[in-house]
Chains A and B, each alone.
Chain A
Amino acid sequence: MLLDPGMDLTLRPMKYPHFFDRFKDAIKNTWTVEEVDLHSDLADLGKLSPAEQHLVSRLVAFFATGDTIVANNLVLNLYQHVNSPEGRLYLSRQLFEEAVHVQFYLNLLDTYVPDLDERAAAFSAVENIPSIARKAEFCFKWIDSIFELRTLRTRDDRRAFLLNLICFAACIEGLFFYGAFAYVYYLRSRGLLHGLASGTNWVFRDESMHMAFAFDVVDQVRAEEPGLFDADMAQQVRDMLAEAVECEVQFAEDLLEQGVSGMSLTDMREYLQHVADRRLAVLGIEPLYGSRNPFAFMELQDVQELSNFFERRVSAYQVGVTGAVTFDDDF
């Protein structure tokens, strides 16, 4: 079973080939920080209203530490318990991606915040900015929840592990980051901060995969041990998401306090509730809010993109293409 304690090293016969497929897909989407062109962002920053500038500075302060927290949990709490070599391949890849994200936001902050003191303040946001500190506390609480757990021996251990996994997938990557992406996409739909948007787009693409992998693991564990995921656990997940929504609404109040046209607090709250409901739906749990997505600009994220290369660097290419030269393949 997937969560049996141990260090399985056998890739053949492969027990969880879909984990391996996710690993291969992830490799095809390799991107590097150098590809993101931030130079037009600097001009845009000068054009933003004070309210929008406040939004952006808070947002990047969150990004400055967000991915590091996720990476830490992956190493400290997830890797050791997912006892499948192909699963661990994916997690290794995820760890690399988190590192690239950290590097991207590092580069972004260095570019956006030229003043060294302000920059230091942004990187210590988890301590100074209450709305970010609260989110961090939520994360730390769940990191700590299984930190001492070296092996999963009992049913309760496995449930504790699953709750941590779900927290990071559904609440942190799935809600905190999703919330943050909404601000970025709001700006992008207005033609602002292309560099931030294109980098975030790639981050978002990676995060979607991380979430999908985590839910794969949840599904796998549920299939292997059906009784594990009972009503009690469902309630715990609902409580966890409700708390995460609260944290994120508080963050939104901070970001939007000066008034941003096209992104009201009412709409943002509804959006976050809607996202939370979606996470519950994936887990097969009743929704909490029954809210709808109010942001039409998020719909734009669901369709194919077409960029004019005069304006934007086209991002839809693959790495790791295989095969040999032949002349009679179908095309």
Chain B
Amino acid sequence: MTVMRVRKRNGDLETVDVNKIVRAVERRAGDLSEVDPLRVATKTISGLYDGATTAELDKLSIQTAAELIGEEPQYSRLAARLLAAFVEKEVRHQGVASFSQSIRYAHQQGLIGDATAAFVARNARKLDDAVDEDADRNFEYFGLRTVADRYLLRHPLSREVVETPQYWLLRVACGLSANPAEAIGFYRLMSSLAYLPSSPTLFNSGTRHTQMSSCFLVDSPRDELDSIYERYHQVAKLSKFSGGIGISWTRIRGRGALIRGTNGKSNGIVPFLKTLDAGVAAVNQGGRRKGAACVYLEPWHPDVEEFLELRDNTGEESRRTHNLNLANWIPDEFMRRVESDGDWSLIDPTDAPDLPDLYGEAFDEAYRAAEKKAVKSVKARDLYGRMMRTLAQTGNGWMTFKDRSNALSNQTGRPGNTIHLSNLCTEILEVNSDDETAVCNLGSVNLAAHVTASSGVDWPKLRETVRTAVVFLDRVIDINYYPSPQAAASNPRWRPVGLGLMGLQDAFFTLRLPFDSAEARELSTRVQEEILLTALETSVALAEQSGPHPSYAETRAAEGKLHPDLWGVTPAQTERWAELRARVAEHGLRNSLLVAVAPTATIASVAGCYECIEPQVSNLFKRETMSGEFLQINTYLVRELKSRGLWTAPIREQIKRAEGSVQGIAELPADVRELFRTAWELPQRALIDLAAARAPYIDQSQSLNLFLSAPTIGKLSSMYLHAWKSGLKTTYYLRSRPATRIQQATVPVLTAAAEACSLENPESCEACQ
């Protein structure tokens, strides 16, 4: 074999010494008993070329360790530690030796805001002492890699990171704190990964552009050109600073409607949405992710059929919008007509301009009156069927329910305050108007960090986490930079926040509760009640200090109705609710809305838990992100299999072959297989029922994905009717799977003979060894 050499930072070539790599890996491995440093070292060298740089060598060893995760999950920890060391080297190399130095350095580079820089300079010693480098060990590889690639601030020219993961979290805390004690407390909560604010806060807190809100809900443009182009401008500005956009388009006249100014006929909404599509794609959120928007339309709009085809991958490209998400904003009247197999009228908004602002009976009445001027009449079931087709073929065209969303909202206490749409992820429901764009800042409790197998949920800890979380979510409202005047007009008035949760599946695995069990449903409901109750208590306490939010008098809470009352349910913690009610009556609430369950796509990765309220999609899968691909394995399953002596190569092969399902592994007892079902293997009715049971304790809504491997119109129409009847305000993606798949490249070829033998005699089957 030829001699392999690496090039050091100073340019010298040095022969690669396997022992040196082994020692470097061993140093990081520490207590990780199941990892083999020699294996990592030799595999690293085999992938190397002669003359590679030491940085390439370091990166390759991280990658190599990460690639062994499928065999032994401890390699994830090892890869994370190697990566932490790599990041630290990069930071130190720029002369940064402490947190306060990192802030000063980043401030000089124009990255940190003056206020945060001054705060840190004033309290340098206390803050520097608070940094807990060992907390890096809480990260799994995928989480830390996400942090390193996306969240850490980089030098504007060299692109080297200027903060370590712990400096980053402390920086986020300092950006939202009034004194060092507060900052350190919040930092500790985040670095334990028990709670994380949403990505915009993690990106921007403490920086020069403190846009920390996740969601913006923009009302439909008025039916005129100036207003439409103003909306493009607004969407671009909101998108630039990491916001996700929901925008309604219901007020814009349909195709063929008369334009009086020119005496021409309108081309309808599609060409305008095409422009919006291009605009959204053009805005790149600081290189960290692409802009994203969801367009909402009510199903009586005359262009609704074309709207449902916007994401099709065939047909005329000028009528397709591949970057926009689509959602239906559905009044109950439509669903009733679907059920009774009635007709449905499509009405031009110019003929019924008040429809978007009405809900419930007022809407029904106005709609029936406007039907006389209908542009077209269709069978309600035909249109519903098309909605289902769009869901199956594109995952898009989310079903969200207008009447329920409005009737069960704290913000709609006064006539004239209407929720016109939900947001990009269907968990935010807030009133807006032509000159008020609703805003929401989010954060999520990691339930996995509040549960142990022996004693269940740690309720006092959960309460404490929620209290801290609400205080800092509320804080964002005052510090936030608002990219548009409409957003700045709305948020200080309503002060809504969205506290969610993630890691529900982790809690169920820890407590061995099948996702569709009655116990799981009960636990999820009680957790949700605790979160809403504590959040409301905290908001009262904030109101006591700073007064209720300015529009408090317009809310249902001001009439003594809290969210569970709107649902007509009786909570479990009756006494606490009674006390709360009395205090609300006295002090009001600082926030009009408090709870929303967001999808947590990125922050759940950082925290290393399952996303929000979702079941696992697979026991073995990969995540694809801008940083690359990452193998993810269900560590709860691995632990279970290890304890039974079943974590063997043949079993791993079987799991891989079954695309992450364990249902075919005969060696596992039925109850274990039941516990480790995937989203594809669970009855979706259970997901809906769980969501409906917790919904009385979510004053906004939840991003509820539904999963069908092979959807049919029949299944979908039954499922979404059930979702509506259960009283859910919104649903989110319909996930399905490709009809065929890429041939697996790394499982043994299964010939007819091997297949037969594996059935008869699984132990000795060569194909599985």
Interface residues of A (CB under 8 A from B): 25-26, 28-32, 34-35, 37, 39-40, 178, 188-192, 194, 201, 204-205, 208-209, 211-212, 256, 259-264, 266-267, 275, 278, 281-282, 284, 293-294, 296-319, 321-331
Q: Which residues of B contact A321 (CB under 8 A)?
A: 389, 392-393, 711-713
Contact B714 A293 (CB under 8 A): no
Indicate the member of B317, B393, B630, B656 with the most A CB atoms within 10 Å. Answer: B393
Q: Which residue of B lies closest to A204 (CB)?
A: B742
Contact A264 B322 (CB under 8 A): no
Question: Which of B130-138, B184-192, B618-626 interfaces with chain A?
Answer: B618-626
For this complex, 10 residue pairs linking A to B, each with C-beta atoms less than 8 Å apart, are A34-B317, A205-B741, A205-B742, A303-B621, A306-B621, A317-B736, A321-B392, A329-B715, A331-B683, A331-B716
A-contact 0/1 string along B691-721, CB 8 Å cutoff = 0000000000000000010111111111101
Q: Which residues of B contact A331 (CB under 8 A)?
A: 683-685, 708, 715-716, 718-719, 722
Q: Which residues of B contact A282 (CB under 8 A)?
A: 749, 751
Contact A32 B739 (CB under 8 A): no
Question: Which of B46-54, B464-472, B554-562, B576-584 interfaces with chain A?
Answer: B46-54
Q: Which residues of A contact B385 (CB under 8 A)?
A: 324-325
CA distance A267 to B42 in the complex (A): 13
Q: Which residues of B contact A26 (CB under 8 A)?
A: 740
Contact A329 B714 (CB under 8 A): yes
Contact B46 A266 (CB under 8 A): yes
Give which listed residue, A302, A315, A329, contacts B745 with CB less than 8 A.
A302
Assess A311 versus B714: contact at CB under 8 Å? Given A304-B618, A319-B393.
no
B70 at the interface (CB under 8 A from A): yes
* Given A306-B632, A311-B289, A331-B722, 16 other A-B residues pairs in contact with their CB atoms under 8 A: A26-B740, A34-B313, A189-B628, A191-B628, A261-B49, A264-B47, A264-B49, A296-B68, A300-B631, A302-B656, A306-B622, A310-B602, A329-B715, A330-B683, A331-B685, A331-B715
Contact A303 B149 (CB under 8 A): no
Assess A323 versus B317: contact at CB under 8 Å? Given A204-B742, A205-B742, A317-B394.
no
Give the residues from 732 to 768 in chain B that come closer than 8 angstroms, CB to CB, to chain A.
Answer: 735-749, 751
Contact A297 B745 (CB under 8 A): no
Q: Which residue of A lies closest to B605 (CB)?
A: A308
Q: Which residues of A contact B64 (CB under 8 A)?
A: 296
Give which listed residue, A302, A303, A317, contacts B738 with CB less than 8 A.
A317
Shortest beta-carbon distance, B485 to chain A, in Å? 26
Assess A30 versus B314: contact at CB under 8 Å? Given A204-B742, A311-B289, A323-B713.
yes
Shortest beta-carbon distance, B287 to chain A, in Å? 8
Indicate the member of A256, A301, A321 with the most B CB atoms within 10 Å. Answer: A321
Q: Which residues of B contact A275 (CB under 8 A)?
A: 745
Report the 7 A-B pairs with minimum CB-CB distance, sorted nearest first: A296-B67, A28-B739, A259-B49, A191-B628, A323-B713, A208-B743, A323-B712
Q: Which residue of B lies closest to A265 (CB)?
A: B49
Contact B742 A326 (CB under 8 A): no
CA distance A331 to B720 in the complex (A): 10
Shortest beta-carbon distance, B216 to chain A, in Å? 15
Q: Which residues of A contact B713 (CB under 8 A)?
A: 321-325
Interface residues of B (CB under 8 A from A): 46-52, 56-57, 59-60, 63-64, 67-68, 70, 149, 244, 281, 289-290, 292, 313-314, 317, 320, 322, 325, 338-339, 381, 384-385, 388-389, 392-395, 601-602, 617-618, 620-632, 656, 659-660, 683-685, 708, 710-719, 721-722, 735-749, 751
Shortest beta-carbon distance, B111 to chain A, in Å? 21
Contact A191 B149 (CB under 8 A): yes
CA distance A52 to B740 in the complex (A): 32
Contact B313 A316 (CB under 8 A): no
Contact A305 B736 (CB under 8 A): no
CA distance A4 to B46 in the complex (A): 51
Shortest beta-carbon distance, B290 to chain A, in Å? 7
Give which listed residue, A35, A188, A205, A324, contacts B322 with CB less than 8 A.
A35
Q: Which residues of A contact B621 (CB under 8 A)?
A: 303-306
Q: Which residues of B contact A322 (CB under 8 A)?
A: 712-713
CA distance A32 to B393 in the complex (A): 14
Q: Which residues of A contact B711 (CB under 8 A)?
A: 318, 321
Contact B740 A28 (CB under 8 A): yes
Q: Which residues of A contact B320 (CB under 8 A)?
A: 34
Q: Which residues of B contact A305 (CB under 8 A)?
A: 621-624
Q: Which residues of B contact A323 (CB under 8 A)?
A: 712-715
Contact B626 A194 (CB under 8 A): yes
CA distance A323 to B745 in the complex (A): 34
Looking at chain A's contact residues, the main secondary structure is loop
CA distance A249 to B748 in the complex (A): 23
Assess A319 versus B313: contact at CB under 8 Å? Given A194-B626, A302-B745, A311-B625.
yes
CA distance A324 to B385 in the complex (A): 7
Shortest beta-carbon distance, A172 to chain B, in Å? 15
Indicate the member of A34, A204, A317, A324 with the most B CB atoms within 10 Å. Answer: A317
Shortest beta-carbon distance, A140 to chain B, in Å? 26
Shortest beta-carbon distance, A180 to chain B, in Å? 13
Shortest beta-carbon distance, B617 to chain A, in Å? 6
Assess A327 versus B339: contact at CB under 8 Å? Given A25-B739, A35-B322, A262-B63.
yes
Contact B656 A261 (CB under 8 A): no
Contact A304 B717 (CB under 8 A): no
CA distance A319 to B313 in the complex (A): 9
Contact A298 B48 (CB under 8 A): no
Assess A25 versus B740: contact at CB under 8 Å? Given A34-B313, A304-B660, A322-B712.
yes
CA distance A205 to B740 in the complex (A): 7
Contact B746 A302 (CB under 8 A): yes
CA distance A301 to B629 in the complex (A): 9
Q: Which residue of B lies closest to A51 (CB)?
A: B49
CA distance A106 to B663 in the complex (A): 43
Q: Which residue of B lies closest to A24 (CB)?
A: B739
CA distance A309 to B293 in the complex (A): 11
Contact B712 A318 (CB under 8 A): no
Shortest beta-carbon distance, B246 to chain A, in Å? 14
Shortest beta-carbon distance, B706 to chain A, in Å? 8
CA distance A189 to B622 in the complex (A): 10
Q: Which residue of A lies closest to B2 (CB)?
A: A266
Give which listed residue, B60, B384, B660, B743, contacts A303 with CB less than 8 A.
B660
Contact B622 A304 (CB under 8 A): yes
Assess A30 versus B313: contact at CB under 8 Å? Given A310-B602, A322-B712.
yes
Q: Which residues of A contact B395 (CB under 8 A)?
A: 314, 317
Contact A306 B624 (CB under 8 A): yes
Indicate the member of A189, A205, A294 with the most B CB atoms within 10 Å. Answer: A189
Shortest beta-carbon distance, A205 to chain B, in Å? 5
Contact A326 B737 (CB under 8 A): no
Contact B629 A297 (CB under 8 A): yes
Q: Which residue of A lies closest to B394 (CB)?
A: A317
Contact B620 A263 (CB under 8 A): no
Shortest beta-carbon distance, B536 to chain A, in Å? 31
CA distance A80 to B313 in the complex (A): 32
Q: Which residues of A contact B735 (CB under 8 A)?
A: 316
Q: Which residues of B contact A31 (CB under 8 A)?
A: 313
Assess A191 versus B626: contact at CB under 8 Å? Given A204-B742, A296-B67.
yes
Q: Which residues of A contact B624 (CB under 8 A)?
A: 188, 305-308, 311-312
Q: Which residue of A lies closest to B314 (CB)?
A: A32
Contact B736 A191 (CB under 8 A): no
Contact A261 B52 (CB under 8 A): yes
Q: Which residue of A lies closest to B320 (CB)?
A: A34
CA distance A158 to B230 in the complex (A): 69
Shortest beta-carbon distance, B60 to chain A, in Å? 5
